[in-house]
A and B are shown apart, each in its own frame.
Chain A
Amino acid sequence: MKQFQGQTLSWALKDGVIELALHREPLNEIGSLTLEELEKFVAVLDELSREAHALILYSTLKGGFCAGADLRQLYGWLQEFGQSEVAIQARAYLERIHAVMNALDAAPLPTIAAVHGVTFGGGFELALTCDLIIADKLARFCFPELRLGLIPSFGGIPRLKRDLGNAVVRDLLLTGRSFNTTKAQQIGLVSQVVGEGEVLRAARATATQMAKFDRTTAAAAKRFIKPIPLDELRHEIDIFCELLPRPAVRDGLKKFVENTGAQPYLP
C-alpha cells in the first residue's frame, strides 16, 4: 500500500521518500484510532522501505506536531474500569503502542521527525523514535506527565536517555518544563533548526541527501548505533501501570480534562 488516507494520518511513497502526515484535530492526540492507523503503517513499512531511502514524519496541523496521548480516552478508562482493570487495559494498549514505536525506531531506513509547535508527551516520544529531529523555531518539547501523577509511557524515557543521557531526562521529567528549539539543539536533541513553515522543506532536502548513500550500509550503520533499549522499555510500562490506578492520577486527569483555562498546556 504505497499510499493511505486515514482519519488521523496519511502516508504516501513518492520519489523514494515515505511521508507520514499526522492530521487528527485538535492536535494529533494519540488515541485508539491513531494507534490503529499507525499499526497499519508499520505493517507495510518493510515493504515500503524496499522502494524508499527515507521516512519523514510531520504534522499538517497549525498548532504543532503532536500534543501527546489522548488523555480524555485515558480518563474515560479510569471511569469505566475499576482500579485493577484499568491497569490491565492500559498495559494491553501500551504493548501495542510500544510495538509501533519500536518498529519505527528500528525502521530499516533513515527516519526524520519534522516538527513544529507543540511536541509534547507522546508526541515527543513519537519524534524520539526517529533518527533525526528537524524543528522550526517555534517548536517546544516537553514531558508534562508528572503533573498527572504519571510518567511518559510511549518509550520516551529510555529513548531520550539512550540519545542524550540521564541529566536531560531528569530535567524534563522532574520539572515538567518545556524546551524551546534553541535549547533542544544545544543539548543535541534537534539536528537542524529552521524558520517557521520551513520544516518539511528542510526534511525533504535532508532525505534527498540521504538518498546518495548505499541503502544497506545506512541500515547497517543504524542498527549498529541505535540499539532498542528493550529492558528499560518493559520497565517503563510496568511503572506506568503501577502508578495509573491511584486516586491522584484520576484527580490529575480530571483537572486536565475539565480545564477551560487559558494555560492548559503550561505544566
Chain B
Amino acid sequence: METAEKTLDEILTLAAAHFKVPREKLSADDDFFKALGIDSLQTLDLLTKLENHFHVELPDYELQGVTDFRTLATKIQARL
C-alpha cells in the first residue's frame, strides 16, 4: 500500500506532466484549477489519468468541492 505522501507526490508529478506545468511550481495545498490552469473538461481528464494510474475508481461526486491536491490525495488513498 502506498503512503499518503507518496500518493500526493505521484499526483503532483502526473498532473505536472499531463498539463505541462513545471513540477516544482506545484505544491500540496494549491488550488489545482488555478495551479494547472484547467477547466471542467480538463478536470475530467485529470480524474481519468489518476484513476488509470492508481487503478482505482473515484466517483465524480467524491470530488465535489475538492480543489487542492492534498484532499485529492486523501480521496485516492482511501481507495487504494
Q: Which residues of A does B touch, CB under 8 Å?
A: 27, 63-64, 117-118, 137-140, 142, 175-178, 180-183, 261-267
Contact of B43 among A183, A263, A267 (CB under 8 A): A263
**Contact of B19 with A by CB under 8 A:** no
Main SS of chain B's interface residues?
Answer: helix
A262-B43 in contact (CB<8A):
yes
B52-A180 in contact (CB<8A):
yes
A138-B40 in contact (CB<8A):
no
Q: Identify the closest chain A residue to B31 (Cβ).
A: A262
**Contact of B41 with A by CB under 8 A:** yes
B39-A183 in contact (CB<8A):
no
Q: Which residues of A contact B59 (CB under 8 A)?
A: 175, 177
Q: Which residues of A contact B44 (CB under 8 A)?
A: 117-118, 138, 140, 178, 265-266
Provide 6 A-B residue pairs closer than 8 Å at the C-beta atoms, listed in order of the A residue. Answer: A138-B45, A180-B51, A181-B48, A262-B39, A263-B64, A266-B43
**Contact of B60 with A by CB under 8 A:** yes
Contact of A178 among B49, B60, B64 (CB under 8 A): B60
Contact of B40 among A177, A182, A183, A264 (CB under 8 A): A264
A183 CA / B56 CA spacing, docked (Å):
10
Shortest distance between the CB of B35 and any CB in chain A (Å)? 12
**Contact of B57 with A by CB under 8 A:** yes
Q: Identify the closest chain A residue to B51 (Cβ).
A: A180
Contact of B60 among A63, A182, A266 (CB under 8 A): A266
A262-B57 in contact (CB<8A):
no
* Chain B: interface residue total (CB-CB under 8 A): 18
A263-B40 in contact (CB<8A):
yes
**Contact of B63 with A by CB under 8 A:** yes
A265-B49 in contact (CB<8A):
no
Q: Identify the closest chain A residue to B57 (Cβ).
A: A183
Known pairs A137-B52, A178-B44, A181-B48 / 15 extra A-B pairs, C-beta < 8 Å: A63-B41, A64-B41, A118-B41, A138-B45, A140-B48, A142-B60, A177-B60, A182-B51, A182-B52, A262-B40, A262-B43, A263-B64, A266-B40, A266-B44, A266-B61
B49-A138 in contact (CB<8A):
yes
B60-A138 in contact (CB<8A):
no
A137-B61 in contact (CB<8A):
no
Per-position binary interface string of chain B over residues 19-51, scored 1 when its CB falls under 8 Å from any chain A CB and 0 otherwise? 000000000000001000001110111011101
Q: Identify the closest chain B residue to A263 (Cβ).
A: B40
B40-A267 in contact (CB<8A):
no
Shortest distance between the CB of A140 and any CB in chain B (Å)? 6
B57-A117 in contact (CB<8A):
no
Shortest distance between the CB of B69 and any CB in chain A (Å)? 15
Q: Identify the closest chain A residue to B40 (Cβ).
A: A265
A262 CA / B41 CA spacing, docked (Å):
9
A117 CA / B44 CA spacing, docked (Å):
8
Contact of A262 among B33, B45, B47, B49 (CB under 8 A): B33
A181 CA / B57 CA spacing, docked (Å):
11
Q: Which residues of B contact A118 (CB under 8 A)?
A: 41, 44
A118 CA / B42 CA spacing, docked (Å):
10
Q: Which residues of B contact A140 (CB under 8 A)?
A: 44, 47-48
Q: Which residues of A contact B57 (CB under 8 A)?
A: 180, 183
